[in-house]
Homo-oligomer: A and B are copies of this chain.
C-alpha cells in the first residue's frame, strides 16, 4: 500500500480529532503526498478531476487543511493570492528563498532560526506552534527557473 506510514499517521490524527475515516480523505492524501513540489488547492482539485476522480472541491480544500494540521503537509504563502502546499512526508524542515524576478523557489535550512524562534517565544510569553521564514530577492540565474509565481511580490 502506497504511503502506508502516512496513512497510519493521518488515521491516528483523524481519530484523535474525532473526524471520520473516509476514502476521499486518503485519496486527497495520496495525490498531495505524490505531488512533486508546491501546489495550490485548486490545482490539486483540477488534477484529480482530470484523472477521473469524482472528488469535490470542498473535500479537497477541507482535507488539505486537515493534512496541514497533522503536519503531513506544510501550508505556505509566498505573497501570491493563494496558498501553496508541500509534502512534509519523509522530508526535513526547511525555509524558502523566493526569486521575485523569475519565481524560482529555493530551499534552505539554518539551525539558528529555531533558536531565535525559541528565544522570542520565551521572551514574549508565546506558546509557539510554528513559524514562516521567507527570503525574497533575485536568484541571478533566471534561465534555470521554474515554479513561476504570479505576483508583483513586495510581500514582507
Q: Please give the residue numbers on chain A whose beta carbons come within 8 Å of chain B beta carbons, in ascending order.
A: 65, 68-69, 74-77, 79, 83, 97, 99-100, 106, 108, 110, 112-113, 116-117, 119-121, 123-141, 152, 154-156
Contact = CB atoms under 8 A, between A and B. Distances in A.
Nearest to A113: B116
Contact of A133 (B77, B79, B124, B132): B132
Number of copies: 2
B128 A136 contact: yes
B121 A135 contact: yes
Given A110-B116, A113-B116, A136 B125 contact: no
A121 B140 CA distance: 11
Contact of A120 (B74, B110, B141, B156): B110
A37 B12 CA distance: 41
A143 B66 CA distance: 27
A65 B151 CA distance: 11
Contact of A135 (B120, B135, B137): B120
